[in-house]
Amino acid sequence: MGEGMKRFLGTLCLLALASCSGTSGGDKAETGLAADNWVTPGGDIGKSHYSTLTDINRDNVGTLGLAWQAELGTGRGLEATPVVIDGVLYTSGVAGRVYAYDGASGKELWRFEPPVDMQVNRTACCDMVNRGVSVARGKVYVVALDGWMYALDQKSGKVVWKADTVVDRKRGDTSTGAPEVAGDVVVIGNAGAEYDVRGAVSAFDLETGKLAWRFFVVPRDPKLGPQDHPDLAPALKTWDPNSRWDIGGGGAPWDAINYDPETGLVLVGTGNGGPYATSKRSPSGGDNLYIGSIVALDAKTGRLKWHYQETPGDNWDYTSTAPMILTRLKVDGEERPVVLHAPKNGFLYVLDRRDGKLLRANPIVRVNWADGVDMKTGRPRLTPEKADYTSGPKIVFPSTTGARNWHPAAYDPESGLYIGSVQDMGNAIYMTPGQKPHQTKMLNNDAALLFTSDLQAILPGLPPPLRDAIAARPEMAWVKANPSGTELRALDPLTGKTRWAYKMAGWQDRGGALATAGGLVFQGSIDGHFRVFDKASGKLLKQIDTGSSILAAPMTYKVGGVQYVAVMAAWGGGGYPYVPPYSAAYKRGNQGRILVFRLGGGPVPIPPELPALEPAPVPPAQAAGVTPQTIAQGMTLFMGHCALCHANQPRSITPDLRRMSEGTHAAFRQIVLEGLLLPNGMPRWDDRLNAKDVDAIHAYLVDLQAKTRAAELEKQKRGQPLDTPGLTILSNY
C-alpha cells in the first residue's frame, strides 16, 4: 500500500470516528472506506462508492453468479443503493417502501409500506422513485414520495416517529432522495422545481423528528416582509423584484446531500429554476441564487457558511443535484479536503470543502452554453449567442438530461480516478408559442425539448418554420458528425481527461458505478447486463445477462466470510414512460428485483420475453356531437395534462391509452375525475378539468386508438412488426 493510500485511509478513519454517532447501526465507529459494512448509500462518509474488499477480484470474477434475489412486486423505477449493517441489508423502493433482508440468505426480515397520497403523482416529474435510506442510532430513516419522513425501528421496521417535510401542501412538493444523517439531525430536500415549488432543505432531530432548522434555496416575495433567514438577503439582490414568486422559483434540492464531519458542514446540491427560462422566472435576469449551486450549511444551525454557483441563472435545467463525493486530493502541491462534483452542465468541479474555493473546472463533454470557467472569478463564460433559446431555437450542449445526472459515480483512491456514466448529447430547445398560464401543482415551463439523438428523424415531421429554424442551426453539422452517446468513463478529476471508456447500449443507458480494491468496477445496464471491468484498463472481465434493466449503483458487503455484490434492477426515473427498445424492460417487462451475487453463484432467472404486440383493440364509437374541433381540443388538453406520464408508446411502464379496453373506456370519466384508480397511482383531475374537458380528451383518445389500429392492421398485413417504438420527444407543453 502506497503512502498516499495510507494517508487517505487514515483521514477517512478520522472522518468516520468523528461521525460514528450518526452513521452506523449500533453506534460503532467504522473504518473510513466501506468493508464488511456499507454504511451509507454511497458506502462511506464521503460517498465514494468504493470498497476495500478484495475477495472478488480480477483473478476470480469469472465465477461470479447469483446468490439470491428478491422480487419487489413493482413495475416502476428502482434507483436506491442498499445499506448493509452487521449482515442486514436495508433498502428503499417505489414511493419510499423499505425492505430489510438477511444479507447472506436473502430471507426477508421486515418490510414497510408508507401510506402515500397517490395524488402526489400529479407533481412527480420523474417516476415514483426513491434513492435510499439512512441508518443510525437503531433507526432506519426514509422519506416517502409525498414528503413524510419516517424513522423506523431497525430491528422490526415499526414506525418510531414521522414528520412532515413539506412546507406548503398547496404546492407541488415531492421527495425522492435519501435522507442524510448529520450529527444529531437527519437532513432531506424536496423535489418539484418544474412545478410551483420553492426549494428547501430541512433537518429533523434524530430521536424525536422535531424540526431543527430549514434552509430555503430561493428568496420569497420581498413584499411579504423580511426573508425567512438572513442568508437570503444577499440572494434576493440576484433576482428581479418582480420575479414569479407565486410559482416558487424552483431550486429544489432533490438529491446530493453530503455531511462532512471534518468541517461540520452539510453540503447540498440545489436544483434548477422554475420555469426553465430565466427571462420567464426573473425577467431582468440575474444569477438567481441559490439555484444551480452547492451550498454549505452548518449542520447544527442550518446557516450558510459558503456557496458556489455552478450555473448562474440556470436557463437549461442543469441543476446541481448530481451526487457529490468528499475525498482528499493533492492539488497544486497541497493535499486538500475536496468535493468532486459533475452536475448536468458538463463540467467536472473540484472545490475545497472547507471554504468552497474553486480548484478545478474542466469540461467532460461538448459544452456550448459556456466556453469555460474563469478560474479567478469562478464564473462560467456564458455564450448566449449559442445557447439562449428564448430568441429562437438553439441546439444546446449538454442536453437537459445532463452530462451527469443522479446515477452515482465512484472515486477510486488507489488510481485517483472518478468513474461514472457520462452522456454526450444536446437538446434542440425553443419557446412554445403563446403565453401559458402558470398554476399551482402544474408543470410551469414554456421551453420545449427535442433530443439531438432523434433530430434527424424528427425534423421532417416538425412544423415548417420550426423545422427550418432548427435545420439552419450551425450545430446541426456538429450533431451529424458527432452522434450522441453515453459511456462509462474513468476520468482524471483534476484535468477532466478520460483514461478509459466503455460505450453503453444507448444514450439512456447510464447506470451507477462501484469500484473496489479487488481491481474492479461494477455497473449495470438497461440492456439487462451486469458488467465487471478492470478498473485500471476498462477491459470487460465479466458480464451476466439478468434480463432486467439496471440503473441503480451496485454495492458490496461481506457476511460470514463471503463477499456479496448487490444491485436493484428496474427501468424508471426521468423519461420513464419511454421505454428504450434496446432495454430488457422493453423485451421482458419491468419486474423490479434486488439481485445479489457471489463467487460460485448460480445463473440469474431471466424473465420470459413479452408476447408479440397485437393491433390496438377496436375503440368504441365516438359520442354524439363529437367534431374535429372537439378532438383537437382534447389533444391540447391531453398534451397539457396527461402526456408527461402517458407517452402512448409500445410497452411503456404507464398505460398506452391507444390500447384501452372496453371497460376502461366506459369508466373514463370516473378514472379522470373521481380517482377510480388513485390507489394504483393515477391521480384525479376534477380540480382542473370538468366533464366536458374529459369527454374531449376521451374523444381524442378514441380517434387516436382508431388510427393506431388502422395503421397496425396495415403493418400486420405487410408482415411488418407492430412494436416499432416512436421517437423520444419530450415537450413541457
Contact, 613 vs 723, CB < 8 A? yes
Cα–Cα distance for residue pair 90/42, rounded to 1 Å: 13
Contact 665, 702 (CB under 8 A): yes
What is each CA distance from 48 to 245, 326, 400, 470, 730, in whole angstroms? 37, 7, 25, 41, 33
The answer to whether the CB of 713 falls within 8 A of the CB of 615 is: yes
By the 8 A CB rule, do 650 and 613 touch?
yes
Dihedral sign, Cα of residue 487, residue 488, residue 493, residue 498 = negative
Quote the CA–CA distance of 642 and 645 in Å, as a whole number. 6
The residue type found at 673 is: L
Say which residues have a Cβ less than 8 Å from residue 554's Cβ, sequence separation at least 6.
81, 512, 513, 514, 522, 523, 524, 530, 565, 566, 567
**3-state percent helix, strand, coil for the chain, nearest multiple of 5:** 20, 30, 50
Rg (CA), the chain: 25
Classify strands 50-51 and 513-516 as parallel, antiparallel or unpaired.
parallel
Residue with cell 415531492: 174
How many C-beta atoms surround the C-beta of residue 516 within 10 A?
A: 28
Residue type, 380: P
Cα–Cα distance measured from residue 441 to residue 439, given in angstroms and rounded to the nearest whole number = 6
Strands of the sheet containing 358-363, edge to edge, are: 324-331, 334-341, 347-352, 358-363
Q: Output DSSP code: residue 32.
A: S
Q: Maximum Cα–Cα distance for the chain, whole Å?
A: 81
Beta-bridge partner residues of 545: 529
Name the residue type at position 494.
Answer: L
Neighbours of 377 (CB within 10 A): 9
**Which uninterrupted H or E stretch holds 308?**
strand 304-309
Residue 689 vs residues 153, 686, 732: alpha-carbon distances, Å: 43, 5, 19
DSSP codes joined into one string, 602-652: BPPPPPPPPPPPPPPPPPPPPPTT--HHHHHHHHHHHHHHTTTT----TT-
Query: What gap in Å lies between CA 449 and CA 700, rounded to an integer?
Result: 24
Q: In what order do the strands lie in the sheet with 293-298?
A: 257-260, 265-269, 293-298, 304-309
Our CA angle for 282, 288, 292, nearest 5°, is: 125
Q: Which residues are catalytic?
A: 317
Using alpha carbons only, give the angle 213, 214, 217 rounded to the nearest 5 degrees: 150
CB-based contact 320:303 (threshold 8 Å): no
| Helix 628-641 and helix 691-718, axial crossing angle in degrees, nearest 10 | 100
